[in-house]
Amino acid sequence: MTDTSLGTPEQLRDPNYMPPIGKAVPLGIQHVLAMFASNVTPSIIVAGAAGFGFGSDQGALGFPDMTYMIQMAMLFAGIATLFQSIGVGPVGARLPIVQGTSFAFLPVMIPAVAGGGPEAMGGLMTGVVIGGIFHFCIGTFIGKLRFALPPLVTGLIVLMIGLALLKVGIQYAAGGVPLLGKPEFGSLAMWFPALVVIVVSLALSFFAKGLLSVAAVLVGLVAGYLVALMMGQVSFGNVGRAAIFDIPTPFKWGVDFNAAIILGMCFMAIISAIETVGDVSGITKGGAGREATDKEISGATFADGAGTAIAGIFGGLPNTSFSQNVGLISMTKVMSRGVVTIGAIFLIVCGLVPKFGALVSTIPINVLGGAVIVMFGMVAAAGVTMLSEVSWSRRNMVIFAISLSVGFGLQLEPTALQHLPDTLQILLTSGLLPAAGLSILLNLVLPEDLD
């Protein structure tokens, strides 16, 4: 129900309207709470995959590189959100769109940096920058791509993203990849805080209302964190070592051109752009009861790409619009881009304070695993929801079956491609790119009257 003290219904549907500041600030922070856990999680996962996250030798130093990546996730989510809400020339939809670090790129990023340490980050960040520039360019022709990406294709791609990440969630909840082979991996002491996160998140999602329901995963994360703290699994040593204020470093890990990473980032930019189109449409329909304009859609895509490219320069991961915040706007009916701008400023301030990033890095990996299981499961479920719109003719079943079989099969058995060049192995063994490529190709070439 709309809170009439915020303004009239006509005002609340206007993106340029600013509610009273005393209510606008809590609404802006509410947006940050709804996306916070999802925003910082990819940085922690990539750091762990590269070998300088939880369980690594950097633990004695306070995980400086992982903490830096968490900072950049907050800082550039805020900056990219400002691009969307305020706008710069053609960049930005000038709508209440909240940006954050994208899960969609993880199946490409994890194998790209696996075990490579900080040295692997130069190639990844170069790919993020180039992928961001490509993403920006997509804004000029985004409308012409939609014919090739019906729900059959986009649903399969989103489902594959979720399936590719489920293993990470289980590993984290059981104690983290670095603990494999050690007796504590998979123990009840590891699993219990993770299960608390899952149970609390589910309970709030089903039985709570308002912000508690929207931010269920974050509240579940806090509950699991408190349990882990009581079990002696939390250390605050990193917080004391972190600086109070710091500014980002351009090209912190250098520049390295890796064709596989660049191609992977460019391909995923297309998927991310399509996701943003859906989010923009969801915001205008849910908050203002109208369709999004072409200018809003192209501006949002420009902002996605610009935010990603700039983030990559300073060591941040790809940015995209956050769907959970679309749902929050539909719930509150507050379309004010000024409210989202307040949330963006809050994120930027957090991103400039390393102690805040260090505090986030104290979350035990098993607690994070509980949240990740829920979040990645929701990604897969979102794909199933998209697929529910498909008319399951024999043609569509063939496209889905072949694409899923090849993509998921390569994901389960990556050594099947061990004789291919390294570049192709990185691109194909995630399973995501083969599944997406096959589904797009088959959907374009197979006749509609196949049945």
**Measured CA distances, 169 to 258, 369, 370, 383 (Å):** 28, 5, 7, 18
Q: What are 389-429's pLDDT values in tens digits?
A: 899 999 999 999 999 999 999 988 988 988 988 778 877 88
Same domain as 291, residue 431: no
Say yes or no: 319 and 261 in one domain: yes
Confidence of residue 18 (pLDDT cuts 50, 70, 90): confident
Q: Are residues 37 and 145 in the same domain?
A: yes
Instruction: Decide which of 276 and 423 is more confident.
Output: 276
Asked, for residue 425, whether it belongs to a domain, the answer is yes
Query: Are residues 26 and 145 located together in one domain of the fold?
Result: yes
Number of domains in the chain: 2
* Burial of 444 (C-beta count, 10 Å sphere; 0-12/13-18/19+): exposed
Domain-embedded: residue 100: yes
Q: Is residue 6 part of a domain?
A: no
Higher pLDDT, 448 or 308: 308
CB atoms within 10 A of CB 415: 9
Domain that holds residue 82: 12-172+234-364
What is the arithmetic mean of pLDDT over 252-258? 92
Q: What pLDDT score does 193 carry?
A: 95
Residue at which a domain ends, from 364, 381, 414: 364
More confident residue, 11 or 346: 346
State both tokens at 237.
């040593």
Q: Is 189 part of any domain?
A: no
Last residue of a domain, one of 364, 399, 423: 364
What is the mean predicted confidence (pLDDT) over 193-197?
95
Angle between helices 216-230 and 188-207 (to 10 degrees): 150
Which pLDDT band, with edges at 50, 70 and 90, does 299 fall under? very high
Q: Are residues 288 and 411 in the same domain?
A: no
Query: pLDDT tens-digit profile of 202-246?
Result: 998 888 877 677 778 888 999 999 999 999 998 887 777 777 888
Beta bridge partners of 99: 321
Band the pLDDT of 59: cuts 50, 70, 90.
low
Tell me what the pLDDT averaged over the chain comes to. 86
330 inside domain: yes
How many CA atoms, within 13 angstroms, populate the side-chain half-sphere of residue 271? Answer: 29
* Rounded Cα distance, 174 and 184, in Å: 8
DSSP 68-95: HHHHHHHHHHHHHHHHHHT-BTTB---S
Contact 408, 369 (CB under 8 A): no
Distance CA 294, CA 288 (A): 16
DSSP string, 17-50: ----HHHHHHHHHHHHHHHHHHHHHHHHHHHHHH
Q: Which residue has 């197979």 as its token pair?
A: 446
Q: Are residues 243 and 324 in the same domain?
A: yes
Q: Are residues 291 and 145 in the same domain?
A: yes
450 burial via Cβ count (<10 Å: 0-12, 13-18, 19+): exposed
Task: Give yes or no: residues 358 and 400 share one domain.
Answer: no
Confidence of residue 1 (pLDDT cuts 50, 70, 90): very low
Q: How confident is the model at residue 4 (pLDDT cuts 50, 70, 90)?
A: low
> Is 4 within the bounds of a domain?
no
User: What would the DSSP string read from start to end of 223-276?
Assistant: HHHHHHHHTT----HHHHHS-S-----TTTT-----HHHHHHHHHHHHHHHHHH
Q: Which residue, 347, 364, 381, sits at the end of a domain? A: 364
Give me the helices (H) in 139-258, please.
Answer: 142-145, 151-173, 188-207, 211-214, 216-230, 237-241
How is residue 107 annotated by DSSP?
H
What is residue 436's predicted lDDT score, i.e. its pLDDT?
85
Closest CA to 109 of 363, 420, 432: 432
Give the DSSP H/E element, type plus range, for residue 319. Answer: strand 319-321
Which range, 57-66, 146-155, 332-341, is most confident? 332-341
- pLDDT classification of 450: cutoffs 50, 70, 90: low
Give the best-scoring range by mean pLDDT among 25-29, 194-198, 270-274: 194-198
Higher-confidence position of 25 and 4: 25
Residue 214 resides in a domain: no
* Residue 53 in domain: yes
Q: Is the pLDDT of residue 175 over 50?
A: yes
Q: Which residue has the higher pLDDT, 392 or 55?
A: 392
What number is the average pLDDT over the span 30-47? Answer: 87
Give the pair of three-digit tokens for residue 292. 């999004």
Please state, for a pLDDT cut of 70, what percent of the chain lies above it: 95
- Tell me the CB-side half-sphere exposure of residue 51, using CA atoms within 13 A: 11
Tell whether 152 and 281 lie within a shared domain: yes
Same domain, 242 and 129: yes
Identify which of 137-146, 155-164, 200-209, 298-307 has the greatest average pLDDT.
Answer: 298-307
Question: DSSP state, 431?
Answer: S
pLDDT digits (tens, 9 = 90+) for 347-359: 999 899 888 888 8
Pairwise pLDDT comparison (117 vs 143), residue with the higher score:
117
Percent of the chain with pLDDT over 90: 37
More confident residue, 13 or 232: 232
Please indicate, yes or no, whether residues 406 and 328 belong to a single structural domain of this protein.
no
- Same domain as 432, residue 315: no
pLDDT tens digits, one per residue of 84-142: 999 999 999 999 999 999 988 988 898 889 888 899 999 999 999 999 999 999 999 88
Q: Is the pLDDT of residue 179 over 60?
A: no
